[in-house]
Structure 1
Amino acid sequence: MGKLLAASSRDEYGSALREKQRIIFKISDYLNQAGFTPIKTPLIERQSTFESYPAKNMFQLYDQQGDNLVLRPDMTLPVARFIESHCREEVPKQLYYIDDVVRKTPYLSGQYNQISQAGIEIIGDENLSAEEKGLAIMLAIAQKFDLNDLQIVLGDASLIKAVLANFPDLTARQQEAIQAAIEEKNISKFKRLTAHLQGLPTILQDWPLAFGKTADEVAEALAAFPNLKGITAKWQKLTAFVQTNYPDIKVMVDLAVQAPQPYYTGPIIQGFLPILGENLFSGGRYDQLLKNYQEEFYPAVGLGMNLERLLVARKKVATQPDPVVVVLAKGRVEEDVRGLLKAAGVDTSPLENPGRKLIFESSDKRFHFILVKPSDVLKYLDRGIGDIGVVGSDTIAEQEQNHYDVLDLQRGKAEFVLAAPAGFQLDGNQRHRIATKYPKTASQYFNRRGQDVELIKLEGSVELGPLTGLADAIVDISQTGDTLRANKLKVYEELVPVSTHLLVRRGALFQHQTELTKLIENLMKELKEG
């Protein structure tokens, strides 16, 4: 077969690589002249350097002595390691790097593991002047490549906890669950968790969708919580800085923003490119990460730019506003939600007589529809082909999540169940064999029970497992239970409910802010009235 590349990797060659080299030279030349000191850390680091980084996203290996190593997934943590290990006399005030990070991507997703970044670290300045300087550097680099159509999105890593601190009756577990729902922009989960909560300001009634307002509007809307004044004042000052120096750039606030990494402590800054529907750069303040050998922490601000996105953005020409692309699971899911989408204001008439077509356009050209197999919805969404995905939660549960699970559409309701022939005893001494199409869901269920089982992945009718002796029981989806009863299987336990969900690509909420916010609000109204 010849020598093949590893999965999710690529070669760079010829004119495309020359263009990237020109970009790297231009950025490094600018940062050198701006007084930043270059730093280059090794691609292979000790795993202990990345204790605060999600382990599932790292490639792991071993050195000559058997110690745990990783391929560097983040640039800031090695900088922190360098400062703590080497800077005994004087800590550098301004560092920059241009290098690659390597992060695991879902297998067979078509995404690349290796990303080129250009970033800066401003160290020792606890004032907002550090954020202003970082913003100015990133915007100057963007302008050098004629990327002027940027939008600045502001957030704060401490905001959600600061708001929830005003509700002392909430337990720590409840606060964690609410914060997760907000950061995931899961409006259904948020509504369920806060149904009893009294006193949320109007702007936070639909908190996962609380983005797009100006800093002044947000400061006024959150005035009832005095402990937020420091946060909102920083947003107002950063907005004033951008408006004074870059009057054509729009600045908005995202009250549901998730910190890029767990070590962030303060203002978060994102440079969103509407032409791509993704962030060109992001970062913010982390005052509890960089420290010297005497364990003294230094205040710091860091921002990193994705060079692959910069390359793509330079080649993309802005034309008419892009339509909202809806990726639908064809078959039962599409049929179940078509009427709901229509009631929410989406022209779904092209879907009524699809024939063999798979791509459709609404008559007003605001929406495009793509019909795919349920298992492919997330791939189209997470690769940026689609903006909205509509698929069952059973499919979502089995795949990697790189999108927002925004709304439970309450269609196609069913249950994951554990079923088996009469006389089955799950809690006996025997290690049971469980047949399923859904190994991830089944594994999570049995892990919660502390039950040791052997899972058997089947693609066809899992009911055959117990009937033929291949398995002792099954984990499957059941709506009516008719198929189980016909095969003499009994439901022993219901695991989790299943229904159709509305997913949104991460960048789409800003790229199509008006359309998607209106659609989600209309869907919520229809679901409530229905």
Structure 2
Amino acid sequence: MSIELPRLGNDEKLSLKLRRAFELKGYHLFRVGSFEEYDIYLKNKSFLAGEDVITFTGANGKLMALKPDVTLSIAKSITNGAERKLYYSENVFRRNKQTGEYSEIRQIGVERIGKIGIEEEAEILNLAVQSLDMVGKSSLLISHMGVVETLLEYFDSPYYRKKAVEYLKAKSIHSLEELTKEAGLTDEAADDILSFSRLKGQFSEVCEELKEIWIKRGFSDEPLIQLYELGKQLAEINIIERIYLDFSIINNIDYYNGLVFQGYVDGIPHSVLSGGRYDNLMKKFKKSQGAVGFAIYLDEIENVDKKSKGDEDETWVNIALPKGRMGSDTLKLLKMADVVLDGIEEDSRKLIFEDKSKKIRCFLVKPSDVGSYVEHGAADIGVVGKDILLENSHAVLELYDTGIGKCRIVVAGKEGFCDFDNKILKVASKFPNIARNYFASKGRTVEVIELQGSIELAPLVGLSDVIVDITESGSTLRDNNLEIISVVSESSARLIANKSAYIFKGERINRLIGILKGEFHENYYG
């Protein structure tokens, strides 16, 4: 009698292959429990991918938590001074970025704990490359926290450093440029930071470009030496051509030191692998060892082969365009790039338009949905207002300020309004997150009332004290006897990109941006 075994999914097949590969390299299976005392996560919240932890009360009355991370449990459990090579295959419990709901996430990873040097880091990177190769066409991007920290020293306040990290991660060079002006940096300092933010590419080439900045300014040699020594080791094991340096890869400085990296696979919109050197985390648990490792997110890999039929040709660039005036103005820019989208300006219900000669496909979507289409990989790039990006905090790259639809996000109130700190300020807005974040940065307690339209009416009828809204000229505010109290942010249409798409289609995306900026002749794009 034959027994039919269940068909394994991509994630299950990969898990078995990875376990075999890790064991052949001398790594041993390490198991941890499904829950820990909540205190370990409370003290290390900034290390976690998100702040939400599922908690429950144990039989002894202690507050417990379902495990949102494996590395914390390992760092806590390992004996001080012990040398360990281990791997794990565990489920963690986090809020799903796509659905917003709590989910059980499958992870497999390796950790090298003990005396960690360049050879051990190279071994981990080699395992990461091999692991990614098991999934498909891939790219491993690395960075160095010591290099990033050195550049951040130009900013003299935690606020500016935090914003600089945010803009570096988003590759938002235009935002970084504005920040250097706001922070009052010298031209030399601003030039260093902007030059640094543009560095990305093959390991050896970027190291040489970085060296120019380093020698010119006389920075500490240690991070640069570490990178060069790592490069030599990667060359010896023949993987240096597989490694790319990209300083937008930044992890929490309080926990990570030195090497950090992320892995991407073509066709998967998010990183599938993440890791780094985390000696600082070990120190928090009073452990003297160094540590380096990575985790692979098996849930991201499950659907790797499930691409739609229309996406079989990887050379297509998919663009999410907002409906309305901003979309119309963006179309004018696309015409500069000689992109012909037949019928897009006609009054029809059609939503997808193509220029087959240039392999460009455009979707027309609601402005508020552009970020979601790009973040989740349905579109490679999109055009969206900065106000929507600030409100929704999409994990995308912000590559270019088109200058379309310039306006300001402001706090406004009735003429002569005076704010008293002894009461909760009522704020009406269709941007509740922007409103909360702005007033939190000012240390002001507020009650935010979310509205969808006619925001100016709220203070006039006593619904709120002030509003947070967008304005171009301020005329609508003045017509309703309202005045601007403060400016939250400037806003305009930004060209955003999916992180993974930018890695695998970056050359075509950059050419398009170059044309929109007027840097290339129209016919250069193709």
Q: Identify the TM-score tier after normalising by the shorter chain.
A: 0.7 to 0.9
What amino acid does structure 1 have at the position aligned with 2:52? M
Distance in 1 of aligned mates of 2:107 and 2:348: 46
- Counterpart of 2:401 in structure 1 is 408
> 1:170-196 CA distances to partner (integer Å, 9 max, x unpaired)?
524445543432233111111123355
**Distance 1:212-1:452 versus aligned 2 partners, 3 A rule:** same
Residues 348 and 354 of structure 1, relative CA distance in 2, 3 Å threshold: farther
1:184-195 equivalences under 5 Å are: 184-194=170-180
1:382 equivalent to 2:370? Answer no
Q: 2:145·2:253 contact (CA, 8 Å) conserved in 1?
A: no
Kindly provide the amino acid, as one letter, of the partner of residue 58 in structure 1: D
Query: Which of 27, 47, 67 is the equivalent residue of 1:72?
Result: 67
- For 1:312, what is the secondary structure of its paired residue? coil
The structural deviation recorded for 1:139 is: 3.6
- What is residue 438 of structure 1 aligned with on the other side? 431
Give the aligned partner of residue 181 of structure 1.
167
For 1:352-501, what aligned pairs fall within 5 Å after superposition? Answer: 352-353=345-346, 355-422=348-415, 424-427=417-420, 431-501=424-494
Show structure 1 runs of 5+ residues with no match: 1-13
Q: Post-superposition shift, 1:361?
A: 1.5
Matching residue within 129, 133, 156 for 2:123: 133
| Contact 1:324–1:368 (CA under 8 A) maintained in structure 2 | yes
Among 324, 332, 347, the residue aligned to 2:339: 347
Q: Does 1:323 align with 2:308?
A: no
Residue 11 (structure 1) aligns with: none
Aligned-pair distance for 1:135?
2.7
Greater shift, 351-360 or 172-181, is seen at 172-181
Per the alignment, do residues 214 and 429 of structure 1 end up closer, same or farther by CA in structure 2, a change over 3 Å counting?
closer
| 1:22-421 aligned within 5 A | 22-50=13-41, 51-54=43-46, 56-64=50-58, 67-83=62-78, 87=79, 91-106=82-97, 108=99, 113-143=103-133, 145=134, 147=135, 149-163=137-151, 170-173=155-158, 174-194=160-180, 196-199=185-188, 205-226=194-215, 227=219, 230-236=222-228, 238-239=230-231, 245=237, 250-259=242-251, 262-276=254-268, 278-290=270-282, 295-313=286-304, 319-343=312-336, 345=337, 347=339, 349-350=341-342, 351-353=344-346, 355-421=348-414
Flag the 1:321–1:478 CA change in 2: closer, same or farther, 3 A. Answer: same
Question: 1 CA distance for matches of 2:363 and 2:392?
Answer: 20
Quote the Cα distance in structure 2 between the aligned partners of 1:180 and 1:19. Answer: 34
Shift of 1:510: 0.9
Distance 1:207 1:307 in 2: 33
> What is the TM-score normalised by the length of structure 2?
0.83
Q: Identify which range, 217-226 or 113-122, moves more after superposition.
A: 217-226
> Is the CA contact 1:326–1:388 (under 8 Å) kept in the aligned structure 2?
yes
Q: CA deviation at 1:423?
A: 5.3
Q: Which amino acid aligns with 2:339?
A: D
The aligned amino acid for 2:53 is F
- For residues 371 and 327 of structure 1, what CA distance do their matches in structure 2 show? 6
Give the conservation status (yes or no) of the 8 Å contact 2:413–2:467.
Answer: yes
Normalised to the residue count of structure 1, the TM-score between the two structures is: 0.82
Tell me the CA shift for residue 485 of structure 1.
Answer: 3.8
Q: Quick one: distance in 2 between partners of 1:279 and 1:305?
A: 9
Name the CA distance, whole Å, in 1 between partners of 2:377 and 2:254. Answer: 25
- Secondary structure at the residue paired with 2:477? helix
Report the more deviating stretch, 151-160 or 188-197: 188-197
What are the Cα deviations for residues 132-155 of structure 1, in whole angstroms up to 9, with x where unaligned? 222333344445x4x463333221
What SS is found at the alignment partner of 1:375? helix
Q: Is the 8 A contact 1:57 1:103 kept in 2?
A: no
- How many Å apart are 1:331 and its aligned residue? 0.5
User: How far off is 1:508 after superposition?
Assistant: 2.3
Shift of 1:120: 0.6
Cα distance, 1:372 vs. partner? 0.9
d(CA) in 1 for partners of 2:245 and 2:98? 34
Root-mean-square deviation (Å) = 3.5
Percent identical residues? 27
> 2:111 touches 2:292 (CA, 8 Å); kept in 1?
yes
Q: Give the Cα separation in 1 of the matches to 2:267 and 2:98.
A: 28
Inter-partner Cα distance in structure 1 for 2:179 and 2:10:
50
19 and 408 in structure 1: CA distance in 2 versus 1, 3 angstrom threshold: closer
Question: Residue 397 of structure 1: CA displacement?
Answer: 1.9
After superposition, the Cα gap between the structure-2 partners of 1:228 and 1:328, relative to the gap in structure 1 and judged at 3 Å, is: farther
Instruction: Give the CA deviation at 1:238.
Output: 4.7
- The amino acid that maps onto 1:263 is Y
Q: Would you say the 8 A contact 1:202–1:221 is kept in 2?
A: no
Contact 1:80 1:291 in 2 (8 A): no
SS in 1 for 2:364: strand
Q: Distance in 2 between matches of 1:292 and 1:462?
A: 48
Distance 1:517 1:203 in 2: 22
**Following TM superposition, by how much is the alpha carbon of 1:46 offset from its aligned partner in structure 2, in angstroms?**
2.6
Aligned-partner Cα distance in 2 for 1:154–1:494: 37
Q: Is the 8 A contact 2:11 2:301 kept in 1?
A: no
Question: SS where residue 401 of structure 1 aligns?
Answer: coil
Offset of residue 130 of structure 1? 0.8
Contact 2:129 2:140 in 1 (8 A): no
> Which runs of 5 or more structure 2 residues have no equivalent in the other structure?
520-526
3-state SS of 1:509 partner: helix
Shift of 1:94: 0.4
What residue in structure 2 maps to residue 4 of structure 1? none
Change beyond 3 A, Cα 1:341–1:95: same
Query: What SS is found at the alignment partner of 1:381?
Result: helix
Q: Go from structure 1 to structure 2 and tell me whether the alpha carbon gap of 1:238 and 1:517 turns closer, same or farther (over 3 Å shift).
A: farther
The whole-number CA distance in structure 2 between the counterparts of 1:107 and 1:384 is 11
Deviations 1:219-274 (A, max 9, x none): 25524525565544554555555556556963321133212785221122333323
What is the aligned residue count? 501
How far has the Cα of 1:208 moved from its partner?
Answer: 3.1
Tell whether the 8 Å contact from 1:52 to 1:262 is kept in structure 2 after alignment: no
Q: Is the 8 A contact 2:428 2:450 kept in 1?
A: yes
Question: Which letter does structure 1 place at the counterpart of 2:93?
Answer: V
Q: Secondary structure at the match of 1:507?
A: helix
Counterparts of residues 511-530 of structure 1 (less than 5 Å): 511-524=504-517
| Matched residue SS, 2:26 | coil
